[in-house]
Amino acid sequence: MTDQKTTPAISKTKTVTMTGASILWECLEREGVKHVFGYPGGAILPAYDALKHSKIHHVLVRHEQGATHMADGFARASGQVGVAVATSGPGATNMVTGIATAMLDSIPIVCITGQVGSKLIGSDAFQETDITGVTLPITKHNYLVTHASEVARTIREAFYVAGSGRPGPVLVDITKDAQQGSCEFDWEAAKPQLPGYRPDLSPAPQEYEQALALIHNSKRPVILAGHGIIISGAMREVRDFAERAGIPVALTLLGLGALPASHPLNLGMMGMHGEAWVNHTIQEADLLLAFGMRFDDRVTGTLKTYAPNAKKIHIEIDPAEINKNVKVDVPLVGDLREVLLELLPHVESIDRSEWLDHIDKLKGASAVRDIQNLPDSGHLYAAHVINDLWHQTRDGNTIVVTDVGQHQMWEAQYYKHEHPRTLITSGGLGTMGFALPAAIGAKVACPEAEVWVVVGDGGFQMTMCELATLVQENLKIHIAIINNGFLGMVRQWQEFFYERNYQATPLLNPDFARLAEAYGIRSATVSKRSEVVPTVQAARAHEGPMLINFKVEQEDTVYPMVAAGAALHDMIRRPSPIVETADDK
């Protein structure tokens, strides 16, 4: 980013007088930012006025929540810090959901908000909201900037904090007078001053020895592979570790892609809708190696019976995660990649074929329940759509961005991800409406990638205004609406736990195909399995974006399911008649 910065006015030694607004864009450029996602308004207008002198590409969103999800999708796809811009008051509060989404999934984004003039702060001025107060518990850190002279250092600190250690969102609230005011700009002098911020922790030597002893004594170990692998860039090290030690790998939702799905040691996804054999493997294990994951309740089930016979090693960059949910025997606090590089030379190769054979048997027993092995009933199931989509796009450079709900779980089960950053999904917060804007961010970050949105009919309607952004930016993104006419996952919970009392879950939907046409987006509606592949092929061949409305079986259910508060091995499975049908074959 610095090589192309040859602006003659700003040399290393001399300072120039600039407005806070100009300093803002200058600093963003120096941080390597090429795209921002934003929406203008009164208190951020000075910054927008100065945008015309910047090389940064501004993507005009249709709602500020979309801006944060786009910055988030951009960050997840690229590994770089994403940037969202909004005005004060409602512009800033509209960002809250996107910020919380980024916080729970450790995504580095910087949100820049305008604020009323510093003299008006506290007066309930027009469009004044205490956004640093509002976002305090959902940001990694936030700032209120009231003077132009604070802009440069604050932006530098914001990028450093957002992207280092355990990443997260940082909000910078800049008053209107701080944008308008002028001061000397000196990039070199505006170095971050963060005496209390220490993202670089490392384990003590004896902890490595304790971990190695546990690994070498274990007969039934399993690696729990989380998002931290992708954040740390430790894919190679995890693979080397698993292969050398002969240890199978279970993945969290956000860990999918950290190890290729086709790798023989990759078991698949664990947790509430994880594969049955994966959950059984965890429950029967004598050692859990948690790599960059945080024992979320969606992957553990009830803690009382979680992996009862297993010792636990937790490699984690955030010390506050140690012993938070699950008491561990050996914590290794540090960057996952660095910790694994330290461990790897000492890991002994051990024959664990007995354990792996046992897991294979568990796997075989589950396969008969897979909907893919059922005879064609003439109905279109979401799993069919996802499976066909995967077969069609598996050889390409494809990023799938999902929303939240049943389709998200089917995507995780039936789309086999070979590479990191090819599945973008809201895990921790479970934010409906995430998919379309996040996909726009991902496509801006990776224009050469084929981007597919997989979204439910409910979540799509939460942020479908961003179709206009997609068209305005001329982005080729394909949208697969898994349309079952229900808030499907909520309906599933009502089916299991509320006696099929389908309160407020049936949806009246617009004609999504015609809606797309109104935006000038090509569309199709599919309700037969035989039409899935040709329609996906047509979308791929089309030069622009395409929306496909897949009308799937209305009351389909995601199996297996660990009910909230149930033990991980206590799964609701696909009902037995179907199993028998499959067995009879």
Partner 1 sequence: MLNTFMVYVENKPGVLTRVASLFRRRAFNIDSLTVGRTEKPEVSRMTITVDADRDQARRIEANLYKLVNVLLVENITNQPAIIRDLALIRVAATHDARSHVLELASVFRARVVDVSAESLTIEITGAEDKIDGLLEVLRPYGVLEMVRTGIVAMRRGSKSAASTTESTAQAAANDDVSYSV
Under the rule (CB under 8 A), what is the footprint of partner 1?
132-133, 136-137, 140-141, 144, 161, 194-198, 201-204, 207, 318-320, 322-324, 327, 331, 333
State in angstroms the smallest separation of the CB of 142 from partner 1: 9
User: Torsion over CA of 274, 279, 280 and 285, rounded to 10 degrees?
Assistant: 150
Query: What is the C-alpha to C-alpha distance for residues 223 and 418, in angstroms, rounded to an integer?
Result: 18
Query: What is the C-alpha to C-alpha distance for residues 151 and 8, in angstroms, rounded to an integer?
Result: 21
Nearer to partner 1, 142 or 425 (CB): 142
Task: Compute φ and ψ for 102, nearest 5 degrees.
Answer: -65, -35
Catalytic residue among 34, 80, 127, 531: 127
- Give me the DSSP letters along 367-401: HTT-GGGSPP-SPPPHHHHHHHHHHHHTTS-EEEE
DSSP-derived 3-state class of residue 43: helix
107 neighbors 167 (Cβ within 8 angstroms)? yes
- Asked if 80 is an active-site residue, the reply is no
- Asked if 494 is an active-site residue, the reply is no
State in angstroms the smallest separation of the CB of 468 from partner 1: 37
Which residues, listed in sequence order, are joined to residue 477 by a DSSP beta bridge? Answer: 451
Catalytic residue among 26, 29, 64, 128: 64
Catalytic residue among 126, 191, 327, 528: 126
- Asked if 37 is an active-site residue, the reply is no
Nearer to partner 1, 334 or 459 (CB): 334
DSSP category for residue 524: E
Q: How many CB atoms lie within 10 A of CB 339?
A: 25
CA angle 376, 382, 383 (to 5 degrees): 70
Nearer to partner 1, 210 or 373 (CB): 210
Nearer to partner 1, 213 or 518 (CB): 213
State in angstroms the smallest separation of the CB of 323 from partner 1: 6
- Asked if 64 is an active-site residue, the reply is yes
545 neighbors 552 (Cβ within 8 angstroms)? no
Catalytic residue among 140, 176, 311, 443: 176
Q: How many CB atoms lie within 10 A of CB 175?
A: 25
State in angstroms the smallest separation of the CB of 165 from partner 1: 9
User: Torsion over CA of 398, 399, 405 and 407, rounded to 10 degrees?
Assistant: -10
Query: What is the C-alpha to C-alpha distance for residues 116 and 205, in angstroms, rounded to an integer?
Result: 52
358 neighbors 286 (Cβ within 8 angstroms)? no
Q: Which amino acid is at 396?
A: G
Nearer to partner 1, 2 or 206 (CB): 206
- Asked if 450 is an active-site residue, the reply is no
State in angstroms the smallest separation of the CB of 406 from partner 1: 31
State in angstroms the smallest separation of the CB of 503 from partner 1: 31
Nearer to partner 1, 26 or 321 (CB): 321
Catalytic residue among 489, 546, 561, 571: 489
Nearer to partner 1, 52 or 198 (CB): 198
Cα-trace Rg, the chain: 25
* Buried/exposed code over 250-285 (b: 16+ C-beta within 10 A; e: otherwise): bbbbbbbbbbbbeeebbbbbbbbbbbbbbbbbbbbb
State in angstroms the smallest separation of the CB of 138 from partner 1: 10
Query: What is the C-alpha to C-alpha distance for residues 19 and 205, in angstroms, rounded to an integer?
Result: 50
CA–CA distance from 428 to each of 45, 228, 293, 296, 404 (Å)?
Answer: 34, 13, 11, 8, 11
Nearer to partner 1, 114 or 168 (CB): 168
State in angstroms the smallest separation of the CB of 149 from partner 1: 16
Q: Which residues are catalytic?
A: 64, 126-127, 176, 489
